[in-house]
Structure 1
Amino acid sequence: MILVLDDEVNPEYRYLGPEIAEFTPDSEYHVYAEDPETPPLSAFDGVIVSGSTASVYEDGYPWFETQMELVRRCLEESIPLLGVCFGHQLVNYALGGDVIEDRRRATFVEMRTLDADDTILAGVNPVVPVLHSDLVVEPGEGMEPIAETEYNDYFCTRHVDAPVWTVQFHPEFTERVRDRPSDWSDGDHTFAECNATAVLENFAAYCEP
Protein backbone atom coordinates (compact mmCIF):
# COMPACT_ATOMS: atom_id res chain seq x y z
CA MET A 1 0.00 0.00 0.00
CA ILE A 2 1.13 3.56 -0.74
CA LEU A 3 0.68 6.42 1.72
CA VAL A 4 -0.52 9.66 0.07
CA LEU A 5 0.22 12.71 2.23
CA ASP A 6 -1.84 15.81 1.37
CA ASP A 7 0.11 18.98 2.25
CA GLU A 8 -2.46 21.48 0.97
CA VAL A 9 -3.02 24.11 3.69
CA ASN A 10 -6.11 25.68 2.08
CA PRO A 11 -9.14 23.36 2.23
CA GLU A 12 -10.63 25.08 -0.83
CA TYR A 13 -7.70 23.83 -2.89
CA ARG A 14 -7.59 20.37 -1.34
CA TYR A 15 -8.75 18.46 -4.39
CA LEU A 16 -5.44 17.36 -5.93
CA GLY A 17 -4.34 15.12 -3.06
CA PRO A 18 -7.44 12.93 -3.50
CA GLU A 19 -6.69 12.83 -7.23
CA ILE A 20 -3.25 11.41 -6.47
CA ALA A 21 -4.91 8.68 -4.41
CA GLU A 22 -7.46 8.11 -7.20
CA PHE A 23 -4.70 7.40 -9.72
CA THR A 24 -2.63 5.34 -7.28
CA PRO A 25 -3.95 1.81 -6.83
CA ASP A 26 -3.99 0.48 -3.28
CA SER A 27 -3.31 3.75 -1.47
CA GLU A 28 -4.23 5.40 1.83
CA TYR A 29 -4.98 9.14 1.83
CA HIS A 30 -3.94 11.28 4.81
CA VAL A 31 -4.30 15.07 5.19
CA TYR A 32 -0.89 15.80 6.67
CA ALA A 33 -1.47 19.57 6.70
CA GLU A 34 -4.16 19.06 9.37
CA ASP A 35 -2.81 15.98 11.11
CA PRO A 36 0.99 15.66 10.93
CA GLU A 37 0.94 12.41 12.86
CA THR A 38 2.29 10.06 10.20
CA PRO A 39 0.89 6.53 10.16
CA PRO A 40 3.58 3.89 10.79
CA LEU A 41 5.77 3.81 7.67
CA SER A 42 6.37 0.09 8.18
CA ALA A 43 2.78 -0.47 7.02
CA PHE A 44 3.45 1.04 3.58
CA ASP A 45 5.43 0.16 0.46
CA GLY A 46 5.94 3.80 -0.55
CA VAL A 47 5.02 7.43 0.18
CA ILE A 48 3.78 10.27 -2.05
CA VAL A 49 4.01 13.89 -0.84
CA SER A 50 1.49 16.18 -2.54
CA GLY A 51 1.50 19.77 -3.70
CA SER A 52 0.49 22.78 -1.61
CA THR A 53 -0.22 26.49 -1.92
CA ALA A 54 2.29 26.99 0.90
CA SER A 55 6.01 27.57 0.27
CA VAL A 56 8.73 25.54 1.95
CA TYR A 57 10.58 28.69 3.07
CA GLU A 58 7.51 30.16 4.83
CA ASP A 59 7.22 30.44 8.61
CA GLY A 60 4.11 29.42 10.50
CA TYR A 61 3.98 25.75 9.54
CA PRO A 62 5.79 23.76 12.24
CA TRP A 63 4.89 20.49 10.52
CA PHE A 64 7.26 21.33 7.65
CA GLU A 65 10.20 20.22 9.77
CA THR A 66 8.33 17.10 10.86
CA GLN A 67 7.75 16.14 7.26
CA MET A 68 11.33 16.90 6.30
CA GLU A 69 12.37 14.43 8.99
CA LEU A 70 10.02 11.94 7.33
CA VAL A 71 11.83 12.57 4.02
CA ARG A 72 15.19 11.91 5.63
CA ARG A 73 13.85 8.73 7.22
CA CYS A 74 12.59 7.46 3.85
CA LEU A 75 16.05 8.16 2.46
CA GLU A 76 17.83 6.36 5.28
CA GLU A 77 15.50 3.35 5.20
CA SER A 78 15.20 3.19 1.39
CA ILE A 79 11.43 3.66 1.52
CA PRO A 80 10.26 4.66 -1.99
CA LEU A 81 9.22 8.32 -2.02
CA LEU A 82 7.68 10.55 -4.68
CA GLY A 83 7.41 14.32 -4.19
CA VAL A 84 4.91 16.24 -6.35
CA CYS A 85 5.26 20.03 -6.87
CA PHE A 86 5.49 21.31 -3.26
CA GLY A 87 6.64 17.76 -2.45
CA HIS A 88 9.40 18.14 -5.05
CA GLN A 89 10.49 21.36 -3.38
CA LEU A 90 10.23 20.01 0.17
CA VAL A 91 12.30 16.90 -0.56
CA ASN A 92 15.11 18.95 -2.10
CA TYR A 93 14.87 21.59 0.64
CA ALA A 94 15.04 18.89 3.33
CA LEU A 95 18.32 17.70 1.81
CA GLY A 96 19.89 21.15 1.76
CA GLY A 97 18.65 22.40 -1.62
CA ASP A 98 17.47 25.89 -2.46
CA VAL A 99 13.89 26.92 -3.34
CA ILE A 100 12.95 30.41 -4.48
CA GLU A 101 9.78 32.30 -5.37
CA ASP A 102 9.01 32.45 -9.08
CA ARG A 103 6.19 33.81 -11.20
CA ARG A 104 2.90 31.90 -11.18
CA ARG A 105 2.56 29.18 -13.79
CA ALA A 106 -0.73 27.30 -14.32
CA THR A 107 -0.57 25.74 -17.75
CA PHE A 108 1.12 23.05 -19.82
CA VAL A 109 4.88 23.18 -20.25
CA GLU A 110 7.29 21.07 -22.26
CA MET A 111 9.99 19.22 -20.37
CA ARG A 112 13.08 17.50 -21.67
CA THR A 113 13.78 14.16 -20.01
CA LEU A 114 17.48 13.63 -19.34
CA ASP A 115 17.22 9.85 -18.83
CA ALA A 116 14.75 8.04 -21.09
CA ASP A 117 15.04 4.92 -18.93
CA ASP A 118 14.21 6.60 -15.63
CA THR A 119 11.79 4.49 -13.57
CA ILE A 120 9.28 7.25 -12.88
CA LEU A 121 9.37 9.24 -16.13
CA ALA A 122 9.43 6.22 -18.45
CA GLY A 123 6.81 6.64 -21.17
CA VAL A 124 5.73 10.11 -19.99
CA ASN A 125 5.08 12.59 -22.80
CA PRO A 126 7.03 15.89 -22.78
CA VAL A 127 3.86 17.99 -22.30
CA VAL A 128 2.95 18.13 -18.59
CA PRO A 129 0.65 20.30 -16.43
CA VAL A 130 2.14 22.71 -13.89
CA LEU A 131 0.59 24.72 -11.05
CA HIS A 132 3.38 26.42 -9.14
CA SER A 133 4.96 29.68 -8.01
CA ASP A 134 8.26 28.36 -6.59
CA LEU A 135 11.27 26.65 -8.13
CA VAL A 136 14.09 24.37 -6.99
CA VAL A 137 17.23 26.22 -8.14
CA GLU A 138 19.74 24.05 -6.29
CA PRO A 139 18.97 20.37 -5.70
CA GLY A 140 19.38 18.70 -2.34
CA GLU A 141 22.40 16.59 -1.46
CA GLY A 142 22.40 13.41 -3.51
CA MET A 143 19.61 14.62 -5.81
CA GLU A 144 20.28 14.83 -9.55
CA PRO A 145 18.16 16.31 -12.36
CA ILE A 146 16.21 13.89 -14.58
CA ALA A 147 14.17 16.49 -16.50
CA GLU A 148 14.44 20.17 -17.28
CA THR A 149 12.44 22.97 -18.91
CA GLU A 150 13.53 26.18 -20.59
CA TYR A 151 12.99 27.99 -17.29
CA ASN A 152 14.28 25.43 -14.79
CA ASP A 153 17.25 23.03 -14.77
CA TYR A 154 15.88 20.97 -11.87
CA PHE A 155 12.30 20.36 -12.99
CA CYS A 156 12.43 16.71 -11.88
CA THR A 157 15.02 15.04 -9.67
CA ARG A 158 15.97 11.69 -8.21
CA HIS A 159 18.37 10.50 -5.55
CA VAL A 160 21.55 8.85 -6.76
CA ASP A 161 21.31 5.96 -4.28
CA ALA A 162 17.84 5.80 -2.71
CA PRO A 163 14.41 5.26 -4.38
CA VAL A 164 13.45 8.93 -4.09
CA TRP A 165 11.99 10.91 -7.01
CA THR A 166 10.47 14.37 -7.34
CA VAL A 167 8.51 16.12 -10.10
CA GLN A 168 7.64 19.82 -10.32
CA PHE A 169 4.56 19.11 -12.44
CA HIS A 170 1.21 17.67 -11.29
CA PRO A 171 0.71 14.17 -12.74
CA GLU A 172 -2.72 14.06 -11.09
CA PHE A 173 -4.01 17.24 -12.78
CA THR A 174 -6.32 16.14 -15.59
CA GLU A 175 -9.22 17.55 -17.57
CA ARG A 176 -11.54 16.23 -14.87
CA VAL A 177 -10.38 18.91 -12.39
CA ARG A 178 -9.35 21.71 -14.75
CA ASP A 179 -12.32 23.88 -13.65
CA ARG A 180 -11.45 23.68 -9.96
CA PRO A 181 -9.67 26.71 -8.37
CA SER A 182 -6.32 26.95 -10.17
CA ASP A 183 -6.34 29.90 -12.68
CA TRP A 184 -5.59 27.26 -15.32
CA SER A 185 -4.90 28.03 -19.01
CA ASP A 186 -4.23 25.40 -21.69
CA GLY A 187 -1.87 27.71 -23.57
CA ASP A 188 -0.45 26.06 -26.69
CA HIS A 189 -1.26 22.47 -25.68
CA THR A 190 -4.17 20.19 -24.79
CA PHE A 191 -4.84 17.35 -22.36
CA ALA A 192 -4.80 15.01 -25.38
CA GLU A 193 -1.02 15.53 -25.51
CA CYS A 194 -0.57 14.73 -21.83
CA ASN A 195 -0.23 11.34 -20.14
CA ALA A 196 1.40 12.58 -16.93
CA THR A 197 -0.68 10.21 -14.77
CA ALA A 198 1.80 7.54 -15.93
CA VAL A 199 4.15 8.90 -13.24
CA LEU A 200 1.80 7.62 -10.55
CA GLU A 201 1.38 4.29 -12.31
CA ASN A 202 5.16 3.94 -12.64
CA PHE A 203 5.70 4.72 -8.96
CA ALA A 204 2.98 2.30 -7.87
CA ALA A 205 4.52 -0.43 -10.04
CA TYR A 206 7.95 0.20 -8.49
CA CYS A 207 6.46 -0.05 -4.99
CA GLU A 208 4.71 -3.36 -5.58
CA PRO A 209 5.87 -5.80 -2.89
Structure 2
Amino acid sequence: MSRAAVVFHERDHDLGVRNVGSLGPALRERGFETTTFSFEGDSRDAQRPPAEAFDVVVLMGSPDAAYDDSLPWLAEEVEFIDSAVAHRVPVLGVCFGGQLLARVLGGTVTRAEQSEHGFVYVESDDRDLIPSGPWMQFHDDTFSVPPNGLSVAQTAAAQQAFVHGPHLGLQFHPEITADVFESWVQGWDARGVRAEVEASVDVEAIRAEVAAREESSRQACGRLVDVFLDRAAGFR
Protein backbone atom coordinates (compact mmCIF):
# COMPACT_ATOMS: atom_id res chain seq x y z
CA MET A 1 0.00 0.00 0.00
CA SER A 2 1.22 3.53 -0.81
CA ARG A 3 1.95 5.80 2.14
CA ALA A 4 1.13 9.49 2.57
CA ALA A 5 2.49 11.75 5.30
CA VAL A 6 0.01 14.48 6.22
CA VAL A 7 1.64 17.22 8.30
CA PHE A 8 -0.69 19.54 10.22
CA HIS A 9 0.15 22.65 12.24
CA GLU A 10 -1.83 22.70 15.46
CA ARG A 11 -0.76 22.30 19.07
CA ASP A 12 -3.89 20.25 19.75
CA HIS A 13 -3.66 16.90 17.98
CA ASP A 14 -7.42 16.40 17.54
CA LEU A 15 -7.85 19.85 16.01
CA GLY A 16 -4.91 19.21 13.72
CA VAL A 17 -6.40 15.96 12.44
CA ARG A 18 -9.68 17.75 11.74
CA ASN A 19 -7.77 20.44 9.79
CA VAL A 20 -6.91 17.80 7.18
CA GLY A 21 -10.54 17.81 6.05
CA SER A 22 -11.42 16.12 2.76
CA LEU A 23 -7.77 15.54 1.78
CA GLY A 24 -7.47 12.60 4.20
CA PRO A 25 -10.44 10.64 2.82
CA ALA A 26 -9.44 11.52 -0.75
CA LEU A 27 -6.00 9.98 -0.24
CA ARG A 28 -7.36 6.88 1.50
CA GLU A 29 -9.97 6.35 -1.21
CA ARG A 30 -7.09 6.28 -3.68
CA GLY A 31 -5.25 3.55 -1.83
CA PHE A 32 -3.00 5.52 0.52
CA GLU A 33 -2.32 4.72 4.13
CA THR A 34 -2.13 8.13 5.82
CA THR A 35 0.19 8.99 8.71
CA THR A 36 -0.96 12.28 10.23
CA PHE A 37 1.39 14.19 12.51
CA SER A 38 2.86 17.55 13.48
CA PHE A 39 6.25 18.97 14.39
CA GLU A 40 4.58 21.32 16.84
CA GLY A 41 3.96 21.22 20.59
CA ASP A 42 2.05 18.34 22.15
CA SER A 43 1.14 17.07 18.69
CA ARG A 44 4.77 16.34 17.85
CA ASP A 45 5.50 12.70 17.15
CA ALA A 46 9.20 11.97 17.54
CA GLN A 47 8.76 8.41 16.22
CA ARG A 48 7.49 9.33 12.76
CA PRO A 49 9.18 7.74 9.70
CA PRO A 50 11.65 9.76 7.60
CA ALA A 51 10.36 11.60 4.54
CA GLU A 52 11.76 9.03 2.13
CA ALA A 53 9.56 6.33 3.72
CA PHE A 54 6.51 7.98 2.14
CA ASP A 55 5.18 8.06 -1.41
CA VAL A 56 3.56 11.50 -0.95
CA VAL A 57 3.89 14.32 1.58
CA VAL A 58 1.02 16.74 2.23
CA LEU A 59 1.63 19.96 4.19
CA MET A 60 -1.44 21.63 5.69
CA GLY A 61 -2.17 25.23 6.70
CA SER A 62 -1.18 27.09 9.85
CA PRO A 63 -1.97 30.33 11.68
CA ASP A 64 1.80 30.93 11.87
CA ALA A 65 4.06 32.47 9.22
CA ALA A 66 6.32 30.33 7.04
CA TYR A 67 9.03 33.00 7.32
CA ASP A 68 8.99 33.10 11.15
CA ASP A 69 12.25 31.41 12.10
CA SER A 70 11.52 32.01 15.79
CA LEU A 71 9.06 29.08 15.65
CA PRO A 72 10.93 26.36 17.57
CA TRP A 73 9.65 23.53 15.34
CA LEU A 74 10.05 25.14 11.94
CA ALA A 75 13.68 24.17 11.25
CA GLU A 76 12.90 20.49 11.82
CA GLU A 77 9.96 20.63 9.43
CA VAL A 78 12.06 22.42 6.80
CA GLU A 79 14.63 19.63 7.12
CA PHE A 80 11.85 17.05 6.60
CA ILE A 81 10.65 18.83 3.45
CA ASP A 82 14.22 19.18 2.19
CA SER A 83 14.60 15.43 2.54
CA ALA A 84 11.33 14.78 0.69
CA VAL A 85 12.46 17.01 -2.18
CA ALA A 86 15.92 15.40 -2.26
CA HIS A 87 14.34 11.94 -2.49
CA ARG A 88 11.82 13.12 -5.11
CA VAL A 89 8.85 12.40 -2.87
CA PRO A 90 5.99 14.49 -4.34
CA VAL A 91 4.89 17.27 -1.98
CA LEU A 92 1.46 18.92 -1.97
CA GLY A 93 1.52 22.15 0.05
CA VAL A 94 -1.68 23.86 1.20
CA CYS A 95 -1.67 27.56 2.23
CA PHE A 96 1.11 27.70 4.88
CA GLY A 97 2.25 24.36 3.46
CA GLY A 98 2.43 25.83 -0.04
CA GLN A 99 4.33 28.82 1.29
CA LEU A 100 6.80 26.61 3.16
CA LEU A 101 7.28 24.43 0.08
CA ALA A 102 8.00 27.56 -1.98
CA ARG A 103 10.54 28.68 0.63
CA VAL A 104 12.32 25.30 0.70
CA LEU A 105 12.53 25.35 -3.10
CA GLY A 106 14.13 28.82 -3.11
CA GLY A 107 11.12 31.14 -3.29
CA THR A 108 10.15 33.82 -0.80
CA VAL A 109 7.27 34.20 1.63
CA THR A 110 6.17 37.66 2.76
CA ARG A 111 3.23 39.50 4.22
CA ALA A 112 0.65 40.02 1.49
CA GLU A 113 -0.42 43.50 0.49
CA GLN A 114 -3.99 42.24 0.55
CA SER A 115 -5.38 39.40 2.68
CA GLU A 116 -7.92 36.98 1.24
CA HIS A 117 -10.69 35.35 3.27
CA GLY A 118 -13.58 33.29 1.99
CA PHE A 119 -14.26 31.98 -1.51
CA VAL A 120 -12.34 33.99 -4.11
CA TYR A 121 -12.26 33.46 -7.86
CA VAL A 122 -8.95 31.93 -8.97
CA GLU A 123 -7.78 32.33 -12.56
CA SER A 124 -5.87 29.29 -13.81
CA ASP A 125 -3.30 28.91 -16.59
CA ASP A 126 -3.71 25.12 -16.43
CA ARG A 127 -7.37 24.30 -15.96
CA ASP A 128 -6.78 20.58 -16.09
CA LEU A 129 -4.66 20.90 -12.95
CA ILE A 130 -6.39 23.80 -11.17
CA PRO A 131 -9.85 24.64 -12.53
CA SER A 132 -10.61 28.34 -12.59
CA GLY A 133 -13.34 29.32 -10.15
CA PRO A 134 -13.98 30.04 -6.49
CA TRP A 135 -11.59 28.39 -4.02
CA MET A 136 -11.52 28.86 -0.28
CA GLN A 137 -8.93 31.39 0.95
CA PHE A 138 -7.75 32.27 4.42
CA HIS A 139 -4.33 33.91 4.36
CA ASP A 140 -2.44 37.09 5.16
CA ASP A 141 0.89 36.00 3.62
CA THR A 142 1.95 35.15 0.08
CA PHE A 143 4.69 33.25 -1.72
CA SER A 144 6.75 33.84 -4.84
CA VAL A 145 7.15 31.07 -7.38
CA PRO A 146 10.49 29.36 -6.67
CA PRO A 147 13.26 29.22 -9.29
CA ASN A 148 12.54 26.61 -11.98
CA GLY A 149 8.92 26.53 -10.83
CA LEU A 150 5.92 27.52 -12.91
CA SER A 151 2.96 29.63 -11.79
CA VAL A 152 -0.31 27.96 -12.72
CA ALA A 153 -2.98 30.03 -10.92
CA GLN A 154 -3.44 33.53 -9.53
CA THR A 155 -5.88 36.02 -8.07
CA ALA A 156 -5.49 39.78 -8.25
CA ALA A 157 -3.99 39.65 -4.76
CA ALA A 158 -1.64 36.67 -4.82
CA GLN A 159 -0.08 33.69 -6.51
CA GLN A 160 -2.38 30.72 -5.96
CA ALA A 161 -0.55 27.68 -7.30
CA PHE A 162 2.81 26.61 -8.69
CA VAL A 163 4.39 23.40 -9.88
CA HIS A 164 8.03 22.45 -9.46
CA GLY A 165 8.95 18.98 -10.69
CA PRO A 166 6.47 16.59 -9.03
CA HIS A 167 5.51 19.15 -6.37
CA LEU A 168 2.41 21.35 -6.19
CA GLY A 169 2.11 24.40 -3.93
CA LEU A 170 -1.31 25.95 -3.28
CA GLN A 171 -2.36 29.16 -1.56
CA PHE A 172 -6.01 28.15 -1.26
CA HIS A 173 -7.69 25.43 0.83
CA PRO A 174 -9.09 22.54 -1.26
CA GLU A 175 -9.67 20.52 1.95
CA ILE A 176 -12.33 22.86 3.32
CA THR A 177 -15.45 21.39 4.94
CA ALA A 178 -17.79 22.77 7.57
CA ASP A 179 -15.89 20.81 10.22
CA VAL A 180 -12.53 22.13 9.02
CA PHE A 181 -13.82 25.67 9.41
CA GLU A 182 -15.12 24.93 12.90
CA SER A 183 -11.74 23.44 13.82
CA TRP A 184 -10.13 26.73 12.74
CA VAL A 185 -12.54 28.69 14.94
CA GLN A 186 -11.76 26.43 17.90
CA GLY A 187 -8.06 26.90 17.18
CA TRP A 188 -8.50 30.68 17.30
CA ASP A 189 -10.21 30.27 20.67
CA ALA A 190 -7.34 28.13 21.95
CA ARG A 191 -4.79 30.72 20.84
CA GLY A 192 -6.84 33.62 22.18
CA VAL A 193 -7.12 35.36 18.79
CA ARG A 194 -10.76 34.82 17.85
CA ALA A 195 -11.80 38.41 18.61
CA GLU A 196 -8.89 39.68 16.52
CA VAL A 197 -9.92 37.51 13.57
CA GLU A 198 -13.59 38.47 13.83
CA ALA A 199 -12.67 42.16 13.88
CA SER A 200 -11.51 41.94 10.25
CA VAL A 201 -13.30 38.86 8.86
CA ASP A 202 -17.03 38.13 8.51
CA VAL A 203 -16.80 34.69 10.10
CA GLU A 204 -20.54 34.02 9.99
CA ALA A 205 -20.79 34.77 6.27
CA ILE A 206 -17.83 32.50 5.51
CA ARG A 207 -19.24 29.74 7.73
CA ALA A 208 -22.51 29.84 5.78
CA GLU A 209 -20.77 29.76 2.39
CA VAL A 210 -18.49 26.90 3.45
CA ALA A 211 -21.57 24.88 4.43
CA ALA A 212 -23.39 25.73 1.20
CA ARG A 213 -20.41 24.72 -0.94
CA GLU A 214 -19.34 21.69 1.10
CA GLU A 215 -20.22 18.97 -1.40
CA SER A 216 -18.86 20.82 -4.44
CA SER A 217 -15.68 21.61 -2.46
CA ARG A 218 -15.27 17.94 -1.55
CA GLN A 219 -15.62 16.90 -5.19
CA ALA A 220 -13.16 19.57 -6.32
CA CYS A 221 -10.66 18.37 -3.72
CA GLY A 222 -10.92 14.80 -4.99
CA ARG A 223 -10.34 15.88 -8.58
CA LEU A 224 -7.32 17.95 -7.56
CA VAL A 225 -5.83 14.97 -5.69
CA ASP A 226 -6.33 12.78 -8.75
CA VAL A 227 -4.53 15.21 -11.04
CA PHE A 228 -1.74 15.85 -8.53
CA LEU A 229 -1.09 12.11 -8.15
CA ASP A 230 -1.27 11.47 -11.91
CA ARG A 231 1.12 14.31 -12.60
CA ALA A 232 3.54 13.24 -9.85
CA ALA A 233 3.59 9.68 -11.23
CA GLY A 234 5.03 11.06 -14.46
CA PHE A 235 8.23 12.10 -12.64
CA ARG A 236 9.05 8.64 -11.30
Band of TM-score, shorter chain: 0.7 to 0.9
Choose between structure 1 and 2: higher strand proportion: 1
Distance in structure 2 (CA, Å) of the matches to 1:20 and 1:188? 19
> Which whole-Å CA distance do the structure 1 matches of 2:66 and 2:78 have between them?
10
- Find out whether 1:127 has 2:134 as its counterpart: yes
The match for 2:227 is 202
> TM-score, normalising length from structure 2?
0.72
Q: Which residue of 2 aligns with 1:30?
A: 37
Deviates more, 1:182-191 or 1:33-42: 182-191
Shift of 1:62: 3.0
Asked if structure 1 preserves the Cα contact closer than 8 Å seen for 2:162 and 2:169, the reply is yes
Partner of 1:115: 126
More displaced, 79-88 or 39-48?
A: 39-48
**Which of these residues, 83, 103, 106, is aligned with residue 117 of structure 2?**
106
Moved more, 67-76 or 78-87: 67-76
- 1:6 matched to 2:8: yes
Secondary structure of 1:66's partner? helix
Deviation digits for residues 151-188 of structure 1 (CA, Å, limit 9, x no counterpart): 11x210110xx211111111110244444444363498
- Larger relative contact order (Cα-Cα within 8 Å, sequence gap ≥ 6): 1
Match of 1:88 in 2: 98
The answer to whether the Cα contact below 8 Å between 1:36 and 1:66 also exists between their aligned partners in 2 is no
Q: CA deviation at 1:64?
A: 1.5
Number of the residue aligned with 2:54: 44
Equivalences for residues 106-185 of structure 1 within 5 A: 106-118=117-129, 121=130, 124=131, 126-136=133-143, 138-152=144-158, 154-159=159-164, 162-182=165-185, 183=203, 185=205
| Higher-helix-fraction structure | 2
* Deviation of the 1:4 alpha carbon: 0.6
Q: Is the 8 A contact 1:2 1:204 kept in 2?
A: no
| 1:177–1:36 distance in 2 versus 1, CA, 3 Å | closer
Q: CA deviation at 1:18?
A: 5.4
Flag the 1:135–1:185 CA change in 2: closer, same or farther, 3 A.
farther
Question: How many residues end up aligned between the 2 structures?
Answer: 201
RMSD, aligned CA: 2.9
Q: How big is the shift at 1:16?
A: 1.0
Q: TM-score, normalised by structure 1?
A: 0.80
- For the 8 Å contact 1:8–1:54, the answer to whether it is kept is no
What amino acid maps onto 1:20 in structure 2?
L
C-alpha distance in 2, partners of 1:94/1:43?
Answer: 19
In the superposition, relative to structure 1, how do residues 24 and 185 fare at CA in structure 2: closer, same or farther (>3 Å)? farther
Shift, 1:13, TM fit:
5.3
Shift of 1:12: 8.4
